[in-house]
Structure 1
Amino acid sequence: MLKVVEKLMQLLRPRICQFSQNNKNVCKHLFEKARAEENIHFLKLQREQLKSLREKILSQKNEVTAKIIKVNKQIQSLEKTNKKGIN
């Protein structure tokens, strides 16, 4: 009986090893696929963050430009009033 079980184990061992290797390959494939999907998710989040940051920077740039134009106009009007006052 013991020899029969031993012989069966010897016959089944290559199949078990082959199944184990196939299982490892499938697990590795699933892991890589999940990792890729996770990377895509984080890249999408980063893209959205960069997009909102760009929009914020552009709006601040526009505000600064508008303030500079306003100050330039004030300077020009002051220069005109000074020229009129001197003459």
Structure 2
Amino acid sequence: MFEFMRGAEFTALAFGDEAVGGCEAVVGRGGPANALRVLDVRRASPGSADAVRAIYGAAPDSLFVVRPDGHVGLVAVSRFAEELGRYLPLLAGGGA
């Protein structure tokens, strides 16, 4: 997982089908979403998914956007596409 995040602008850690679907919907729009890498933690790291979820205190279906400096910039537990769609324009404007 950490290899995936290395060198990324922003990384979305998606836990659950709805979170993954919300990310895919937003990334498909282009624009600021092009700076986002999406990681479906359950599929990309099945052996450590539960540990990663525990570290982040993640609900079974949740989304965390990790900034390049390693800080969490967004946490969403519902309305994933809407929340991510509101957050990403802040990145283009430097407000994140």
What TM-score do the two structures reach when normalised by structure 2?
Answer: 0.17
Greater RCO (CA < 8 Å, at least 6 residues apart)? 2
What TM-score do the two structures reach when normalised by structure 1?
Answer: 0.19
Greater share of residues in helix: 1
Greater share of residues in strand: 2
